[in-house]
């Protein structure tokens, strides 16, 4: 009876059309506090994930072709964005891939440090997408360490995705920050969202949130599909599917072990 009640209470999932024919499968991967923050307001990076969750993200990184961040994340966190586990790197090499996925950054002004670990670590492609107007200046600054691509004026995420697809990127992980999450989601360019929720509060509205204000395709009248819920160490894990492309990308295509299409761990499953 629990199952019947539960089924009646769940609205029909209406996925987005996969909006751009030739774009990669786009996955947002983020860790947040229980009150929705990606970081605190200090200058130091806040660690939200548990060790078990870091290992999960590493496996997921190893299964994509490219990882994208906004320039704010590079300036704030100085991430290397590498696959860490040697066996995962080796498996990529065995598949004929670079040992770590291509790294992609989006910037409006191109003001990035060529000595940042983003550029100096990892045997992989590094690509900087900027608006047309600053492409030449950015190329002069970063051309020695990355491929600098003019992506329109203003910069177009659809154009960026089409360019990545042309380069062979079929699975793209967007790893922050909030500005990037907001734009990809609001423009309906996301197939899947994976969230790790840390068991504590940040409680400071000066800190960056998972997303900012926007008109999102999924609001109260259109719910995303919760495909999986679980835990990794002391962090909750939530996986949402947003488009028709998502179920087809389960398992091998997404390179990730998940249950059957849409297998929900809910009251129904636990009953
Ligand atoms: N917990 C997590 O999972 C996680 C993951 C990643 C980041 N974070 C946190 O998120 C925070 C950073 O997030 P954020 O929102 O401030 O920055 P962000 O999203 O990483 O980057 C924002 C920057 O990206 C560029 N950009 C974004 N949209 C653009 C567009 N349409 N056209 C051209 N350029 C564009 C601009 O770069 P320019 O300024 O160069 O023009 C903009 O300032 C940090 O505190 C970091 O620790 C947390």
Average pLDDT over the chain reads: 88
Phi, psi of 22, deg, nearest 5: -105, 70
Angle, in degrees to the nearest 10, between helices 86-94 and 51-62: 10
- 75-105 pLDDT, tens digit each: 999 999 999 999 999 999 999 999 999 999 9
CA 105 to ligand 1 center in whole angstroms: 9
Beta strands in 4-146 (DSSP E): 25-32, 66-70, 102-106, 126-130
- Residue 3 within a domain: no
Is there a domain that residue 205 lies in? yes
- Domain span holding position 36: 20-270
For residue 3, how many other CB atoms are within 10 A of its CB?
12
Q: Give the C-alpha separation, 54 to 193, whole Å.
A: 16
Q: Which residues pair with 130 in a beta bridge?
A: 150
Is residue 198 within 8 Å of residue 34, measured between CB atoms?
yes
Provide the domain count of the chain: 1
pTM over 0.85: yes
**pLDDT value for 257:** 44
Strands 25-32 and 192-197: parallel
Sheet order of strands, 235-241 included: 147-150, 126-130, 102-106, 66-70, 171-174, 25-32, 192-197, 235-241, 225-232
Asked if residue 241 belongs to a domain, the reply is: yes
Residue 16: what pLDDT?
79
107 CA distance to ligand 1 middle (Å): 8
Distance 74 CA to ligand 1 centre (A): 8
User: What per-residue confidence (pLDDT) applies to 8?
Assistant: 39
pLDDT for 267 equals 31
- Note the pLDDT of residue 245: 82
Cβ-based burial of 142 (10 A; exposed 0-12, middle 13-18, buried ≥19): buried
Probe residue for ligand 1, chosen from 70, 105, 127, 148 as the CB with the greatest number of ligand atoms within 8 Å? 70
**Residue 258 in domain:** yes
Q: What is the CATH number of the domain that holds 220?
A: 3.40.430.10
For residue 15, being part of any structural domain is answered with no
Q: Is 255 exposed, middle or buried (0-12, 13-18, 19+ CB in 10 A)?
A: middle
Kindly state whether residue 184 falls inside one of the protein's structural domains. Answer: yes
In a domain, 6, yes or no: no
Q: What is the pLDDT of residue 10?
A: 45
Q: Which residues line ligand 1 (CB under 6 A)?
A: 30-32, 38-39, 45, 48, 69-73, 76-77, 106-109, 111, 131, 155, 175-180, 183, 208
Residues of the chain with pLDDT under 70: 1-13, 18-21, 246-271
* 137 located within any domain: yes
| 194 and 29 Cβ atoms separated by less than 8 Å | yes
How many residues are present in the chain? 271
């Amino acid at each position: 009876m629990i199952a019947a009640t539960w089924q009646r209470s769940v609205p029909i999932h209406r996925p987005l059309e996969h909006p751009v024919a030739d774009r990669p499968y786009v996955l947002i991967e983020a860790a947040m506090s229980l009150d929705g923050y990606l970081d605190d307001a200090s200058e130091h990076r806040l660690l939200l994930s548990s060790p078990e969750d870091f290992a999960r993200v590493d496996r997921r990184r190893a299964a994509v072709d490219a990882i994208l961040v906004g320039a704010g994340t590079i300036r704030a966190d100085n991430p290397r964005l590498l696959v860490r586990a040697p066996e995962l790197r080796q498996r990529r090499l065995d598949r004929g891939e670079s040992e770590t996925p291509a790294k992609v950054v989006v910037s409006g002004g191109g003001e990035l440090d060529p000595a940042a670990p983003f550029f100096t670590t990892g045997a992989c492609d590094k690509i900087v997408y900027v608006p047309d107007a600053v492409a030449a200046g950015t190329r002069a600054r970063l051309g020695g360490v990355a491929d600098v691509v003019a992506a329109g004026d203003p910069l177009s995420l659809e154009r960026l995705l089409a360019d990545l697809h042309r380069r062979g990127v079929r699975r793209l992980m967007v790893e922050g920050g909030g500005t990037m999450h907001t734009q990809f989601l609001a423009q309906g360019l996301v197939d899947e969202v994976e969230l790790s929720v840390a068991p504590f509060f940040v409680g400071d509205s000066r800190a960056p949130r998972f997303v900012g204000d926007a008109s999102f395709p999924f609001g109260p009248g259109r719910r995303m599909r919760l495909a999986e819920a679980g835990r990794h160490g002391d962090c909750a894990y939530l996986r949402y599917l947003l488009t028709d492309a998502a179920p087809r990308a389960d398992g091998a295509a997404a390179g990730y072990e998940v249950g059957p299409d849409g297998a929900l761990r809910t009251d129904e499953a636990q009953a």
